[in-house]
Amino acid sequence: MKKLTVSALLGAAAILAASPAHAGSSDGKVQIKVLATGVLPDGKITKVLVDPGLPAGTNTKANDNWVPTLAIEYFVSPQVSIETICCLTQHDVDASAPAALAGGELVADAKILPATVTLKYHFTESGVRPYVGVGPTWFIFIDEKPGAAARTLLAATSQKLDNRVGAVVQAGIDIPINDQGFGISFDAKRYFLSTTAHWYNAAGTQVLSTRHKLDPWVVSGGVSYRF
């Protein structure tokens, strides 16, 4: 995945660099960013809704992932913009406690599409532009499956994570490198949302259901082009 991220960023940077210079502008209405993004979720259990007899102290952790991200931003004024991002990130959820279960995979290869829109305020109109933002997000879970531990311990044959609406705050900085719209960007977002996980056996009976705190940090860095 890291090799794919680097390759995607290099390819996108080459495309941006090949764009006609006269089309770019440091005060244009539209900015496109191609970023390397780390998605760092929590994943711990906050409530057990259907309990098949889990050991006391059972908890979980979702793994981190790095993915390429595309951000598109429209400036409604020199200091106010609206931004949306596009990425697909994949995560496993493993038991973190007790020791006898630690490392056991409960959710395998859950893909998340974090549909996100933020309203951003830029503290300066030109030059180096620090900013903050806030907005809603909708986490869409795709193609999740029960992990090996869930298959063995629960006889689970299918697994589902509920799509959820949440909120996000962000802060970052855009640094122009010329007056033709090119720059570099660094961004950090904190998401606030939870999801409910369900495991089912071959008969379709729910054998386990847990609520999980996600609240991921999403940190990014990459290149930008404004026009």
pLDDT digits (tens, 9 = 90+) for 151-165: 999 999 999 999 999
Q: How far is CA 185 from the centre of its chain?
A: 17
Q: Do the Cβ atoms of 153 and 108 come closer than 8 Å?
A: no
Question: For residue 105, what are the β-bridge partners?
Answer: 94
pLDDT of 11 > 80? The answer is no
Domain containing 90 equals: 2-220
**Does residue 225 belong to any structural domain of this protein?**
no
Question: For residue 220, what are the β-bridge partners?
Answer: 37, 187
Q: Is 96 left (phi over 0), alpha (psi -120 to 50) or beta?
A: alpha
pLDDT of 222 > 80? The answer is yes
Number of structural domains found in the chain: 1
Q: What's the pLDDT tens digit per position in 180-197?
A: 999 999 999 999 999 999
**Does residue 55 belong to any structural domain of this protein?**
yes
Percentage of the chain modeled with pLDDT above 90:
86
pLDDT of 31 > 50? The answer is yes
pLDDT of 108 > 50? The answer is yes
Q: What's the pLDDT tens digit per position in 43-93?
A: 999 999 999 999 999 999 999 999 999 999 999 999 999 999 999 999 999
> What pLDDT does 25 receive?
86
**Does residue 142 belong to any structural domain of this protein?**
yes
> What pLDDT does 126 receive?
87
**Does residue 226 belong to any structural domain of this protein?**
no
What letter would DSSP give residue 148?
H
The CATH number covering residue 79 comes to 2.40.160.20
**Does residue 227 belong to any structural domain of this protein?**
no
Rounded to two decimals, what is the model's pTM?
0.87
How does 154-192 read in b/e, with b if 16+ C-beta sit within 10 Å? bbbbebbbeebebebebebbbebeeebbbbebebebebe
Q: Is 202 helix (H, G, I), strand (E, B) or coil?
A: coil
How many whole angstroms separate alpha carbon 27 and alpha carbon 47? 48
> What pLDDT does 24 receive?
84
**Does residue 53 belong to any structural domain of this protein?**
yes
How many whole angstroms separate alpha carbon 164 and alpha carbon 18? 39
pLDDT of 12 > 60? The answer is no
> What pLDDT does 64 receive?
97
